[in-house]
Structure 1
Amino acid sequence: MAYEQFAFIYDKLMEDVPYDQWVTLVGKIKEQYFLNEESFSILDVACGTGELSVRFAKKGWDVTGVDLSEDMLAIANEKAFEAQIPIPFFQQNMAELQGFERQDCIVIFLDSINYLQSEQEVIQTFSSVYDQLKEGGIFLFDVHSAYKINEVFASSTFTLVEDEVSYIWNSFKGEYKNSIEHELTFFVLDEDTDQYERIDELHKQRTYPIEQFQAWLQEIGFSIVSLYGDEPFLPVSDTSERLYFVCKK
């Protein structure tokens, strides 16, 4: 996954992401499990450009952000600085989290786990999260469902045409079962030259049946306390496109 150029147009493309609904969900979890705590620590893994991290910090929570991309983290640091909120950001692989104090809550949003290309990476990520949580801590993450990978994305084309950013997004079935490859071509306006720059990206995503995620989580030691499908966090159905797992250590 090459985010080096993509980071700078990421926020434009993510304008429809339900960040505020995710903050509300985490807030409900805090009230349910940590109501009597004086502080609430949260590790925002795969934090990207820090959009959620800043929102979390504005709630008064003790936030730390982690991402693999140096460019994403540079933008995240700028956002925190502009908001005058001190948020530490670290460049780490989600499968190799280390060096943090034990957290009350760890989140991995925006189908970031789907970018892991092997079963072992998913297991290592769940184990890494488990090790960084306090006893009784909560792990919350979302993934694309097999339905979305196979029925919504497969052999589909999506387009966007705007003055600043346009793209053509073609999706094809991937190498593995329940996997997809996204070929994206962006045209980004350079305001200095008033010309468009072309950027090509290849993104690979992979998912698994609900039962497989559940088995891995339980083998590591998590109990699954809630499972939702889509926003606003509905019961899971055969056509749920996004799945939300709420797990307790």
Structure 2
Amino acid sequence: MQGTENPSAWFEEWFNHPFYLQLYSHRNRDEAERCIHTILSLTELDRKPCHSVSVLDIACGAGRHALEFARLGYTVTGNDLSPFLLEEARKEAANGCLNVQLTGCDMREIKEQERFDLVVQLFTSFGYFTAKEEDMLVLQRVFDALKSGGWYVLDLINPIHLERTLVPHSCRMAGDLTVNEERSLENGRITKTITITSPAEERLNFTESVRVYAREEIASMLSETGFSLSTIAGDYEGSPFEATVSPRMMLFCRKP
């Protein structure tokens, strides 16, 4: 078994590996349903006819959220860089007879113009890149893809809560795989080194590294892009954001 030693490109290899879904199988449909219910309620898009609302799910992965939007009747596009995860999403859509458009490109290269009523970027799928300017480019791509009055929901880790609750090391089982995870919060990034050991004692190493944004910094970036920040939720149930206790920082923004 071989792994990657290049953290700057970690998302290209790790998200395209079959073990990724096995390690994160606890991210289930119930959680996705709660998250989507909160998004539709806080944006009040649940008051509009479903078929009239177009949704883009950035970094959609295997389609947990995109497929739930489709089940509700929304017009959905899911985008991801990983061919493996997109194929999993296609199979799930076919099994459920769901109509979802799936596209594969880097989030910095999304070219849509004024097409969507809602863009969602969920479960810490922002901050992958080395330079902050690249994250700003993603925000600009989202802004361009939205119709006037459209919503952008950006779901991030709450850095204050993360610092208080960070577990430096953990070990767990994922099926027959032993998973050791080492975590550190340094230089504005949360980095997790994952060592996967098979029953035959073969080892595979991966790294996840995500830039962590304070509320004030990401709010300033959104404003600079042109967004108006409406509200911040602290979890997938839509609880009000509290800096010291909320695990998530879900920013609800609108394009004028």
Please, what TM-score do these two structures have when normalized by structure 2? 0.84
Determine whether 1:52 maps to 2:55: no
Does structure 1 conserve the Cα–Cα contact (< 8 Å) formed by 2:118 and 2:151? yes
CA–CA separation in structure 1 for the residues paired with 2:149 and 2:46: 8
C-alpha displacement at 1:198, in angstroms? 3.6
Does structure 2 conserve the Cα–Cα contact (< 8 Å) formed by 1:7 and 1:72? no
CA–CA separation in structure 1 for the residues paired with 2:193 and 2:225: 34
C-alpha displacement at 1:188, in angstroms? 5.5
| Residue 5 of structure 2: aligned partner | none
Query: Which secondary structure state, in structure 2, belongs to the residue aligned with residue 112 of structure 1?
Result: coil
Pair 1:240–1:93, CA change in 2 (3 A): same
Query: Which secondary structure state, in structure 2, belongs to the residue aligned with residue 113 of structure 1?
Result: coil
Q: 1:245 aligns with which of 233, 240, 251?
A: 251
CA–CA separation in structure 2 for the residues paired with 1:13 and 1:36: 32
| Residue 227 of structure 2: aligned partner | 222
| Residue 70 of structure 1: aligned partner | 83
C-alpha displacement at 1:57, in angstroms? 0.2
Instruction: Trace 1:196-211 onto structure 2 (pairs within 5 A).
Output: 198-211=203-216
Mean Cα displacement is larger for which, 55-64 or 160-169? 160-169
Query: Which secondary structure state, in structure 1, belongs to the residue aligned with residue 52 of structure 2?
Result: coil
Pair 1:188–1:84, CA change in 2 (3 A): farther
Query: Which secondary structure state, in structure 2, belongs to the residue aligned with residue 88 of structure 1?
Result: strand
Aligned Cα root-mean-square deviation (Å)? 2.4
Which consecutive residues of structure 1, in runs of 5 or more, have no partner in the other structure?
190-194
| Residue 183 of structure 2: aligned partner | 171
Pair 1:39–1:165, CA change in 2 (3 A): farther
What do the CA deviations read for 1:152-196 (whole angstroms, capped 9, x no partner)?
23x61122225444311110233x2x312101122467xxxxx67
| Residue 83 of structure 1: aligned partner | 96
| Residue 192 of structure 1: aligned partner | none
Does structure 2 conserve the Cα–Cα contact (< 8 Å) formed by 1:169 and 1:182? yes
Mean Cα displacement is larger for which, 35-44 or 125-134? 35-44
Pair 1:30–1:226, CA change in 2 (3 A): closer
| Residue 217 of structure 2: aligned partner | 212
How many residues are paired up? 241
Pair 1:162–1:46, CA change in 2 (3 A): closer
Pair 1:211–1:179, CA change in 2 (3 A): same
Does structure 1 conserve the Cα–Cα contact (< 8 Å) formed by 2:112 and 2:144? no
Query: Which secondary structure state, in structure 2, belongs to the residue aligned with residue 151 of structure 1?
Result: helix
CA–CA separation in structure 2 for the residues paired with 1:16 and 1:36: 23
Query: Which secondary structure state, in structure 2, belongs to the residue aligned with residue 115 of structure 1?
Result: coil
Pair 1:118–1:88, CA change in 2 (3 A): same
Please, what TM-score do these two structures have when normalized by structure 1? 0.86
C-alpha displacement at 1:82, in angstroms? 1.1
Query: Which secondary structure state, in structure 1, belongs to the residue aligned with residue 25 of structure 2?
Result: helix
Pair 1:10–1:67, CA change in 2 (3 A): farther
What do the CA deviations read for 1:53-90 (whole angstroms, capped 9, x no partner)?
11110000000000111111111111111111121111
